[in-house]
């Protein structure tokens, strides 16, 4: 297939100072939970983006000195030559595929606590650090400022020598020292670095000048700047100081990387933000600079990308999350394979890797983070092994991914589902704000429909005899899970007394099936702590019911702190007058009342509950598996076929986990790893001498 000529403009080269990007696709800096601790993993992950056609591939934020120590977060580091050598791995992998490597140099000011280095925290003014650590930052002297400028210059030279083509000055997201100097909220200085906007911009200007002088003959110089903090008069705003900063520095960098702040606004989930939502904030930048501009907007549509360029909004299409969901997005557009793009669903499970200090993952792309340690490639998979015919029972996220991947390996695959396919991804997509989740099933069903190796049988209920009669060499059971009604959860280790007699006790399965409480008041009890409890409470409130959301967690939907949407979920519920009761565990249930116990005091709280919605644990639907394998798997060796349970049927978790498990099972079919060894490579710390 050939490229649609409408998209030719996306493949024009762009000059960035002394270097040239081969097209307009730019993977902007993004964190990944691996950072300096896993340099091989990062290099392989970034190299995959370059192979996939991204013309520029950037690091995450890269600390320039031990006084900017972000522990426990594993970002990039460039403190010394040892760090330089590790970062060179990434630059080399990016260059192998003809892309430019960019590095985002960072000093985080009072955004860190220096837990590892234990150095005093440097800040624009005396201030508390940006955490609950009992630590404060000291106001920087001019000698301190000179030190930071020197460290930044040294880091820029090391970056150049490591092979990077673009070097950043990072002034954005309210996470960096330059932005702290620019900000009226943080900068209370009375010297030439405080007061007027020109003075507050001084450090940023000096860093740009220093970096240009140090490496500008070899590297393009980029600035990343948040033009609007969405704080109104309390912060930088695109219609006021944000625009003035760009005007002051307009021609100094070789490229402007612009966005909004803070990170939760820049990477808003699909539930709370649309594709291209930053346009109204960043559109002015190209009006005041002749330098190329890159911006983001969770762009997945090639038409939207072309529109941004043709209308003069952006010169380069920036992406973090879409490049994670599909590292080969540019190549698929270039090769006329639009239908093969795995579109980002905006769930921010990728972001959770950084917040939980664990390797990055993606709902749509199960190979993300596994490029080095498992050797997985998003577009290449090994040919089939000794088996020929595989039956996959269940077409939810795990079953769809397994069937699709097995078909790509060349197996003859039969996929049977009692419904129409899609499982929980399709069901949850009917809830408020979750429509993009249907992309999980849409992509895989479309790939399966085009495969000559896969036959899909919707509306097919399989049982033990029918599976035995099918004649498959391998059987994968992906029958999913269902939500429990008995209250068993993370905080409750036995069924809740009285709950079985409640006249209106529902679960998320009932809600997505269209069964809503006949009347209220409704108590949504959330011991799951992810998004569903909050989504269901919002849905019921929008239907006019009186709703209370109670949870044993410290706040509603507390795990969504890791996807940067907890504050928005809570705001949406409060705006709908949903009563929130955190830190309370369900103790017992009567006809129209639930008794909750305070986690701190043990005091009881009576809550009216004409209807209950229990969002607690899910039970695996594994009857079919154990009917074949035996309750203790004692029949496994006697079966005429291999059998596995995958996804929620094995261990209910996120949609991302189900997709990953389906993919892993497909990769490992006929090639099972040794159960007594670690099934992936590990990055190990160097053992140094005394």
Active-site residue (options: 165, 228, 254, 266): 266
Q: Are residues 569 and 626 in the same domain?
A: no
pLDDT of residue 176: 95
Higher pLDDT, 14 or 265: 14
For residues 163 and 304, state if they share a domain. Answer: yes
Q: Is 687 a member of any domain?
A: no
User: Does residue 123 sit in the same domain as residue 152?
Assistant: yes
**Together in a domain, 460 and 512:** no
**Residue 31 falls in the annotated catalytic set:** yes
What is the per-residue pLDDT across 479-503, written as a single tens digit (0 to 9) for each?
999 999 999 999 999 999 999 999 9
7 is catalytic: no
Do both 160 and 241 map to the same domain?
A: yes
**DSSP labels, 128-183:** E-SSSSS-EEEEPPHHHHHHHHHHHHHHHHHHHHHT-SEEEEEE-TT-SHHHHHH-
611, 628: one domain = no
- The average pLDDT across 453-480 equals 97
Q: Is the per-residue pLDDT at 256 higher than 90?
A: yes
Q: Smallest Cα–Cα separation from 226: which of 193, 265, 272?
A: 265
Convert the pLDDT of each residue in 21-47 to its tens digit: 999 999 999 999 999 999 999 999 999
pLDDT at position 489 is: 94
The residue annotated as part of the active site, out of 173, 180, 502, 663, is 173
Confidence category of residue 687, pLDDT binned at 50, 70, 90: confident
Confidence of residue 688 (pLDDT cuts 50, 70, 90): confident
β-bridge partners, 121: 137
CATH number at 574 reads 3.50.50.60
Inform me whether the pLDDT recorded for 142 exceeds 70. yes
Pair 17, 142 in one domain? yes
- Residue 675 and residue 544: Cα distance in Å, rounded? 53
Q: Provide the pLDDT confidence category of residue 239 given band limits of 50, 70 and 90.
A: confident
- Please give the model's pTM, rounded to 2 decimal places: 0.96
Specify the pLDDT at position 1: 73
- The answer as to whether 381 is a domain residue is no
- Same domain for 257 and 121, yes or no, is yes
Return the pLDDT at 384. Answer: 96
Residue-wise pLDDT for 554-570, tens only, equals 999 999 999 999 999 99
Closest CA to 478 of 389, 363, 392: 392
Please give the C-alpha separations between residue 120 and each of 112, 113, 578, 636, in angstroms, as whole numbers: 10, 8, 44, 60
Examine the domain organization and report whether 254 and 144 are in the same domain.
yes
Could you tell me if 409 and 357 are in contact, meaning their C-beta atoms sit under 8 angstroms apart?
A: no
Q: Give the whole-angstrom CA distance, residue 267 versus residue 347.
A: 10
Instruction: Out of 170, 443, 625, 660, pick the active-site residue.
Output: 170
Average pLDDT on 269-282 reads: 93
| Res 311: pLDDT | 97
The pair phi, psi for residue 205, each rounded to 5°, is: -60, -45
Asked if pLDDT for residue 685 goes beyond 90, the answer is no
State residue 2's pLDDT score: 87
Catalytic position from the list 26, 30, 31, 315: 31
Pairing of strands 618-620, 481-483: antiparallel
266 belongs to the catalytic site: yes
Same domain for 570 and 641, yes or no, is no
Give me the pLDDT at residue 433, please: 95
Residue 690 reports pLDDT greater than 70: no
User: Average model confidence (pLDDT) for the chain?
Assistant: 96
Q: Is residue 17 part of a domain?
A: yes
- Domain membership flag for residue 690: no
Same domain, 343 and 407: no
Going by C-alpha positions, the residue among 156, 177, 176, 158 that lies closest to residue 167 is 156
* 86 and 74 assigned to the same domain: yes
Those residues whose C-beta lies under 8 Å from the C-beta of residue 425, and which sit 6 or more positions away, are 396, 397, 437, 438, 440, 441, 655
* Structural domain containing residue 430: 389-480+621-668
Per-residue pLDDT tens over the stretch 161-197:
999 999 999 998 899 999 999 999 999 999 999 999 9
Q: Looking at residue 239, which CATH number applies to its domain?
A: 3.20.20.70
Predicted confidence (pLDDT) per residue in 300-342, tens digit: 999 999 999 999 999 999 999 999 999 999 999 999 999 999 9
User: Is 170 a known active-site residue?
Assistant: yes
pLDDT digits (tens, 9 = 90+) for 589-606: 998 999 999 999 999 999
Q: How many domains does the chain have?
A: 3
Band the pLDDT of 234: cuts 50, 70, 90: confident
Does a cis peptide bond (omega within 30 degrees of 0) precede residue 596? no
pLDDT-derived band at 211 (thresholds 50, 70, 90) equals very high
């Amino acid at each position: 297939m050939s490229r649609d000529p409408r998209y030719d403009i996306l493949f024009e080269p762009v000059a960035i100072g002394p270097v040239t990007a081969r097209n307009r696709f730019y993977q902007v800096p993004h964190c990944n939970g691996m950072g300096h601790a896993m340099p091989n993993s990062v290099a392989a992950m970034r190299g995959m983006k370059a192979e996939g056609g991204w013309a520029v591939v950037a690091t995450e934020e890269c600390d320039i000195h031990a006084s900017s120590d972000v522990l426990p977060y594993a970002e990039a580091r460039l403190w010394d030559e040892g760090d330089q050598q590790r970062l060179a791995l990434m630059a080399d992998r990016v260059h192998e595929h003809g892309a430019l490597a960019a590095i985002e140099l960072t000093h985080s000011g009072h955004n860190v606590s220096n837990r590892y280095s234990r150095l005093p925290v440097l800040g624009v003014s005396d201030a508390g650090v940006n955490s609950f650590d009992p630590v404060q930052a000291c106001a920087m002297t001019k000698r301190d400022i000179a030190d930071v400028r020197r460290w930044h210059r040294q880091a820029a030279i090391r970056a150049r020598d490591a092979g990077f083509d673009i070097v950043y000055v990072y002034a954005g997201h309210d996470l960096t020292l330059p932005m702290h100097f620019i900000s009226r909220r943080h900068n209370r200085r009375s010297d030439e670095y405080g007061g007027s906007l020109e003075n507050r911009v001084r450090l940023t200007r000096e860093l740009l000048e220093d970096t240009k002088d140090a490496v500008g003959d070899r590297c393009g110089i980029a600035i990343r700047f948040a033009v609007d903090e969405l704080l109104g008069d309390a912060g930088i705003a695109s219609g006021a100081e944000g625009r003035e900063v760009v005007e002051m520095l307009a021609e100094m960098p070789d490229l402007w990387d612009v966005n909004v702040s803070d990170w939760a606004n820049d990477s808003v989930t699909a539930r709370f933000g649309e594709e291209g939502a930053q346009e109204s904030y960043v559109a002015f930048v190209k009006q005041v600079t002749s330098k190329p501009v890159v911006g983001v907007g969770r762009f997945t549509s090639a038409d939207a990308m072309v529109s941004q360029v043709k209308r003069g909004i952006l010169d380069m299409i920036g992406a973090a999350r879409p490049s994670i969901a599909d590292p080969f997005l540019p190549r698929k557009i270039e090769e006329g394979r639009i239908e093969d793009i795995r579109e980002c669903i905006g769930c921010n499970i990728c972001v959770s890797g950084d917040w939980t200090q664990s390797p990055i993952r993606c709902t749509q792309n199960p190979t993300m983070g596994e490029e080095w340690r498992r050797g997985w490639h998003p577009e290449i998979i090994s040919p089939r092994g000794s088996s020929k015919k595989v039956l996959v029972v269940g077409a939810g996220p795990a079953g769809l991914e397994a069937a699709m991947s097995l078909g790509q390996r060349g197996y003859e695959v039969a996929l049977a589902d009692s419904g129409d396919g899609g499982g929980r991804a399709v069901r949850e997509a009917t809830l408020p704000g979750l429509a993009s989740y249907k992309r999980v099933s849409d992509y895989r069903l479309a790939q399966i429909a085009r495969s000559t190796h896969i036959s899909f049988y919707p509306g097919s209920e399989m049982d033990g005899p029918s599976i035995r009669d099918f004649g498959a060499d391998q059987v994968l059971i992906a029958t999913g899970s269902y939500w429990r009604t008995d209250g068993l959860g993370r905080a409750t280790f036995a069924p809740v007394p009285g709950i079985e007699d409640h006249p209106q006790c529902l679960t998320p399965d009932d809600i997505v099936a269209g069964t809503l409480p006949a009347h209220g008041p409704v108590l949504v009890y959330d011991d799951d702590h992810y998004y569903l409890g909050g989504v269901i409470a919002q849905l019921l409130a929008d239907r006019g019911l009186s709703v209370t959301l109670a949870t044993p967690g410290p706040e509603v939907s507390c795990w969504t702190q890791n996807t940067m949407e907890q504050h928005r979920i809570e705001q949406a519920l409060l705006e709908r007058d949903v009563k929130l009761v955190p830190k309370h565990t369900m103790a017992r249930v009567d006809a129209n009342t639930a008794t909750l116990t305070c986690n701190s005091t043990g005091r009881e709280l009576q809550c009216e509950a004409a209807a209950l919605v229990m969002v607690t644990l899910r039970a695996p639907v594994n009857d079919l598996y154990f009917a074949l394998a035996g309750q203790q798997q004692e029949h496994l060796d006697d079966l005429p076929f291999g059998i596995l349970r995958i996804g929620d049927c094995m261990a209910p978790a996120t949609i991302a986990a189900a997709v990953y498990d389906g993919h892993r099972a497909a990769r490992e079919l006929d090639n099972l790893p040794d159960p007594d060894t670690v099934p992936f490579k590990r990055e190990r710390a160097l053992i140094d001498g005394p």
